[in-house]
């Protein structure tokens, strides 16, 4: 999208204006309650204000990235996508409510979502382009890590809002039976064991193709609160994304550390009063403590880097983005993803989810002076009493926001 100087000036002014406002975090309960009595007009009025705020907040941070990274072709492309989407949403800023406007708005959201489909691999390609052209120092690496956590969390939240609107009011959910089962992309009775098995089967299919075999699955569940299978209010696609990534990693470790008699992967699902825990245990040899922190770094991967032709055909493969983005999906509704490694034996990966939907609030990045300083200060030096090597704990303190409602 080529802008004239006047258009660029107007766009910058609008970004500055909307970035002054904080995003309004919603809980899963808010999403469900609104979806049960869905009003397209209310959703339209909320989104035409909220989406520009979320877009502007993260666009301000894009401009704080190191100059060398901003010049990379792939990063320029991503920046253009965001500018175009921001401009298209602003077209509805002062439009009167009408059926025609609602239809146009829904079509615009679908167009924006499709445009941003390849944002993750494209931004990853931009980081690779930087590494190929320039030496990346520790400060630049720190800034990129900090930014990508916030950038991808913002992307998850924007897609969540768009998906809820288009699924509730667009042409994408015409099947009445399925519409009854789901509220947008949220399943009020999400069968955790079912999602576990789906993720395992698809990961196993890939493992079979590559290694001609795959570890078996053992699943157990423990429900402290009630009888029957464990079900919670959650977004199945988010959980599937996390589980699929963890199963792929576990299977690869098991297959490459055993010649035959592959030990099974064990999964335990537990529901307590506050948390739901999903623990995936493998005997794939484990990971040394010296490497554990690196597994959540975007510029680290144990797999070969993909060729440029693979950007659209094999998303994320070899970029090292699987685990850090999976952790963001867990954190998005105030959960967590942790790895417990026993070097020489295996790894336990634990997904924590909120058991109560009213406590599962969005965690959103906010552009302010506190976030700005992370792009300008030197890398903190750790001592025995701090753990500055793990960026996640530092970043989460800057993401907390007051809870908002539609």
What CATH number belongs to 187-354? Answer: 3.30.565.10
pLDDT of residue 7: 72
Phi, psi of 271 (to 5 degrees): -115, 120
Classify residue 338 as exposed, middle or buried by CB count within 10 Å of its CB (0-12, 13-18, 19+).
middle
Average confidence (pLDDT) over 121-146:
89
Mean pLDDT, all residues of the chain: 87
More confident residue, 171 or 384: 171
For the chain, how far is it from start to end, CA to CA, in angstroms? 32
pLDDT band for position 97 (50/70/90)?
confident
Q: Is 369 a catalytic residue?
A: no
pLDDT value of position 312: 44
Exactly one of 116, 238, 248, 283 is catalytic; name it.
248
Structural domain boundaries of the chain?
5-183, 187-354
The residues pairing with 178 across neighbouring beta strands, listed in sequence order, are: none
Q: pLDDT digits over 74-87, tens only?
A: 999 999 999 999 99
d(CA 392, CA 337): 11
For the sheet containing 217-223, what is the strand order? 217-223, 265-271, 275-282, 346-354, 336-342
Catalytic residue list contains 245: yes
Which residues, listed in sequence order, are joined to residue 277 by a DSSP beta bridge? 270, 352
**Which is catalytic among the residues 57, 79, 249, 361?**
249
Question: Would you call 248 a catalytic residue per the annotation?
Answer: yes
Sorting pLDDT into bands at 50, 70 and 90, what band is 3?
low
pLDDT digits (tens, 9 = 90+) for 250-297: 999 999 999 989 999 999 999 999 999 999 999 999 999 988 888 899
Question: In this structure, are residues 347 and 339 in contact, taking their beta carbons and an 8 Å threshold?
Answer: yes
Candidate list 60, 116, 241, 283, residue with the active-site label: 241
Indicate the range of 83-92, 289-298, 317-326 predicted with least confidence.
317-326
Cβ atoms 263, 215 nearer than 8 A: yes
Backbone angles phi, psi at 232, to 5 degrees: -135, 170
Which pLDDT does position 307 carry in this prediction? Answer: 55
User: What's the CATH architecture for 5-183?
Assistant: Up-down Bundle (1.20)
In this structure, how many other beta carbons lie within 10 angstroms of the beta carbon of residue 42? 12
Domains 5-183 and 187-354 share a fold: no
Percent of the chain whose predicted confidence (pLDDT) is above 90? 70
Active site residue 40: no
Over 70: is that where the pLDDT of 305 sits?
no
């Amino acid at each position: 999208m080529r802008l004239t100087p006047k258009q660029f000036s107007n766009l910058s002014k609008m970004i500055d204006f909307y970035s002054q406002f904080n995003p309004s975090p919603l809980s899963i309960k808010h999403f469900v309650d609104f979806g049960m009595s869905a009003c397209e007009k209310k959703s339209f009025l909320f989104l035409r204000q909220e989406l520009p705020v979320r877009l502007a907040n993260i666009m301000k941070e894009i401009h704080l990235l190191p100059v060398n990274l901003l010049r990379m072709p792939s990063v320029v492309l991503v920046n253009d996508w965001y500018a175009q989407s921001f401009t298209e949403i602003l077209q509805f800023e002062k439009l009167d409510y009408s059926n025609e406007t609602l239809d146009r708005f829904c079509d615009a959201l679908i167009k924006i979502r499709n445009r941003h489909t390849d944002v993750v691999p494209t931004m990853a390609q931009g980081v690779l382009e930087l590494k190929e052209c320039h030496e990346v120092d520790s400060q630049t690496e720190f800034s990129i890590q900090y930014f990508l956590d916030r950038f991808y969390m913002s992307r998850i939240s924007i897609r969540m809002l768009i998906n809820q609107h288009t699924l509730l009011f667009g042409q994408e959910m015409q099947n009445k039976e399925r519409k009854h089962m789901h509220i947008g992309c949220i399943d009020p009775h999400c069968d955790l064991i079912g999602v576990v098995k789906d993720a395992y089967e698809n990961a196993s299919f890939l493992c079979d193709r590559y290694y001609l075999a795959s570890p078996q699955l053992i699943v157990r569940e423990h429900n402290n609160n009630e009888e029957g299978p464990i079900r919670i209010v959650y977004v199945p696609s988010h959980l599937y994304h996390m589980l699929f990534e963890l199963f792929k990693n576990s299977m690869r470790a098991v297959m490459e550390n055993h010649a035959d008699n592959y030990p099974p992967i064990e999964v335990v699902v537990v529901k307590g009063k506050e948390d739901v825990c999903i623990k995936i245990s493998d005997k794939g040899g484990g990971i040394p403590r010296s490497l554990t922190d690196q597994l959540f770094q975007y510029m680290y991967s144990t797999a070969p880097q993909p060729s440029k032709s693979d950007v659209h055909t094999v998303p994320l493969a070899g970029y090292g983005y699987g685990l850090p983005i999976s952790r963001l999906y867990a954190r998005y509704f105030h959960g967590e993803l942790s790895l417990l490694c026993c070097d020489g034996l295996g790894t336990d990966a634990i997904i924590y989810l909120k058991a109560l939907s009213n406590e599962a609030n969005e965690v959103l990045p906010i552009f302010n002076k506190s976030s700005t300083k992370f792009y300008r200060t030197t890398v903190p030096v750790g001592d025995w009493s701090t753990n500055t090597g793990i960026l996640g704990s530092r970043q989460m303190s800057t993401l907390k926001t007051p809870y908002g409602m539609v």
